[in-house]
Amino acid sequence: MSTTTIYSAKKIVTMNPSRPQATHVAVRDGRILGAGSLEELATWGDYVLDDRFGDKVLLPGFVEGHAHTMEGSLWSKVYCGWFDRADPNGKLWAGLKSIDAVVTRLRAAADAMTDPTAPVSGWQLDPIYMNNAKVTRADLDHVSSDRPVGVLHASGHILNVNTKALELAGLMKTGVNHPGIPLGDDGYPTGELKGPDAMTPVGPHVGFERNLLDADEDGLRNFAKLCVRTGTTTITDLASRMDPDTVEMMLTVTAEDDFPTRLVPLRYFMGLSPADLIAEVTTLKARSTERLRMGRIKVVADGSIQGFSARLRWPGYHNGAPNGLWYIAPDQLSETYHLALQAGLQVHTHTNGDQATQLVLEKLAPALQKHPNPDHRFTLQHCQLADAAQFRQAAKLGMCANLFANHHYYWGDEHYTLTVGPDRATRMNACRTALDSGVPLAIHSDAPVTPLGPLFTAWGAVNRITASGRVQGEEEKITVAEALYAITIGAAYTLHLDGEIGSIETGKRADFAVLDDDPTTCDPAVLKDIGVWGTVQGGRIFAASDL
């Protein structure tokens, strides 16, 4: 007979409305036998009492509904971001506040390398916070003139490189004529490469391969460490190409005894016709395991707001930039919805601009009439600019929304002053309106775009503070209880996993976030600062300090 372990805790916040709090939780075979008092749980028979969490607060393991495992691979490169950020091993890297500081850190990394020709790669540079300072190849030549050097911006859409890298790519010449490759006064490229098209020829020379979207084996393990450090027990990989090698790798790595996370990769739509996409994802779904849940589709409708590639309705961009780009033809979106509903597969659709959201609503409605599926839970991802009418329509159609609460902190000021202006910036990521309209809500980090950290994400949605310290959109704040729901059972709901995870109650997986303090009673302003001891995932215990 299996062993029953009963864990005591300072407090257990169950997110189970019929029994919101408990002092003990009983675990058997990786699942929750019950949550309640020790006396109640003892009625199940023999048990081992484990008091290691006696001074901790347990919550359901957090569910991150929109992230990318590539963050794990990026940490093999040099962190160049503006904000302090912890790496998978727990080391805190100080944010860099000037181009000089970036060059200095990169040079230190170059000096420590033994292979004389290896590239120096940095990531997460964000000159928005440095008065949009331009990084030139001359700056990066100070890192090294012998090695290729490349630094990827936080947006993922700009790459700065040095002269050597341009030479290797055959671009260190005059006469280059490309909208994404600005030229200096001397007629040579400045080293700034804007957009994936301009980055592609140079990326491989500076350590950014083309298949950047997919984590490698070590990257996936690294990423899982970040999950433990942030209390996350289920995480999505929201745009995986899932080629056969990647799928085998994911199956192997997630099956390792000490792999601490349930991974939900969504198959990126690009490169397959809708019919082939449905067929492939149906096949993948059948190969799912306890810790690798395949069988969902990710579609990208438009680009990003700060990159001016999101599709906006009238009056468009605040600074007059032309409207953005479609990444899928409206008819192909429609066909994908029809076929997915018919096949019983779920689709999550990236929409940043409100016109992209409107297109999704308009295409899904007739598809649902043709293939009624009351529990489809198709999800709008980001959905940053949706207005109240769109949320009401999304609710009627049975759609979920996973809003980008972190974005509001990191780029809210930029949206206020530059991209969409004060009015729409204030309603961006309108969590309050979504909930009031009856839209099932999740909130997310989009790691590596912003750091993984569900408690930070909850803090963002509760406080709506921007990087400059302003509250932007007081009326769109949600309560701590609503935010905690969004990062647990709310996110699980968007994945059709709310029957298995997201709350601490009988029958569900024994997935816990082990916290130092109680987020339900702390000052909402310090929600993001609550210490995370680690996680329990499927009954297995992972202490952040042991990683």
Q: Find the binding residues for other proteins in span 245-284 (CB under 8 A).
A: 268, 270-273, 275-276
As measured in angstroms, the least distance from the Cβ of 288 to other proteins is 23
Asked if 515 touches other proteins (CB under 8 A), the answer is no
Residue with tokens 């979504």: 434
Rounded to the nearest angstrom, the gap between the alpha carbon of residue 240 and the centroid of all alpha carbons in its chain is 13
As measured in angstroms, the least distance from the Cβ of 332 to other proteins is 7
Measure the CA–CA gap between 178 and 191, rounded to whole angstroms: 13
Number of residues in contact with other proteins under rule CB under 8 A: 35
Q: 112 or 329, CB closer to other proteins?
A: 329
Asked if 95 touches other proteins (CB under 8 A), the answer is no
Asked if 369 touches other proteins (CB under 8 A), the answer is no
Point out which span in 79-87, 289-297, 318-326, 397-405 binds other proteins (CB under 8 A).
318-326
As measured in angstroms, the least distance from the Cβ of 64 to other proteins is 24
Among residues 17, 90, 170, 422, the one that binds other proteins under rule CB under 8 A:
170
Residue 221 φ/ψ region, left for φ over 0, alpha for ψ in the -120 to 50 degree band, beta for the rest = alpha
Asked if 181 touches other proteins (CB under 8 A), the answer is yes
Among residues 322, 372, 374, 469, the one that binds other proteins under rule CB under 8 A:
322
Rounded to the nearest angstrom, the gap between the alpha carbon of residue 15 and the centroid of all alpha carbons in its chain is 23
As measured in angstroms, the least distance from the Cβ of 177 to other proteins is 6
As measured in angstroms, the least distance from the Cβ of 171 to other proteins is 7
Measure the CA–CA gap between 378 and 345, rounded to whole angstroms: 9
Residue with tokens 């996993």: 497
Measure the CA–CA gap between 353 and 248, rounded to whole angstroms: 35
Torsion of CA 85, 90, 91, 95, to 10 degrees: 10
As measured in angstroms, the least distance from the Cβ of 243 to other proteins is 10
User: Within 10 A of 329 (CB to CB), how many other CB atoms are there?
Assistant: 9
As measured in angstroms, the least distance from the Cβ of 255 to other proteins is 27
Measure the CA–CA gap between 226 and 456, rounded to whole angstroms: 14
Asked if 177 touches other proteins (CB under 8 A), the answer is yes
Asked if 337 touches other proteins (CB under 8 A), the answer is no
Instruction: Judge contact between 266 and 66, C-beta under 8 A.
Output: no
The contact mask relative to other proteins for 373-412 (x = CB under 8 A, - = no) is ----------------------------------------
Asked if 320 touches other proteins (CB under 8 A), the answer is no
The CA radius of gyration of the chain, in Å to the nearest whole number, is 23
Among residues 133, 138, 325, 526, the one that binds other proteins under rule CB under 8 A:
325
Asked if 311 touches other proteins (CB under 8 A), the answer is yes
What H or E segment, with its residue span, contains residue 545? Answer: none
Measure the CA–CA gap between 40 and 503, rounded to whole angstroms: 19
Q: 363 or 528, CB closer to other proteins?
A: 363
As measured in angstroms, the least distance from the Cβ of 347 to other proteins is 17
Under DSSP, is residue 476 helix (H, G, I), strand (E, B) or coil?
A: helix
Measure the CA–CA gap between 284 and 282, rounded to whole angstroms: 5
399: Cα within 13 Å, side-chain hemisphere: 32
Asked if 161 touches other proteins (CB under 8 A), the answer is no
The contact mask relative to other proteins for 206-235 (x = CB under 8 A, - = no) is ----xx------------------------
As measured in angstroms, the least distance from the Cβ of 198 to other proteins is 7
Among residues 104, 155, 282, 332, the one that binds other proteins under rule CB under 8 A:
332
Strands, E assignment, 269-352 = 296-300, 346-351
DSSP letters for 333-389: HHHHHHHHHHHT-EEEEEE-SHHHHHHHHHHHHHHHHHS--TT---EEEE-TT--HH
The contact mask relative to other proteins for 349-368 (x = CB under 8 A, - = no) is ------x---x---------
Q: List residues binding other proteins (CB under 8 A).
A: 170-171, 176-181, 197-198, 200-201, 210-211, 241, 268, 270-273, 275-276, 311, 322-323, 325-332, 355, 359
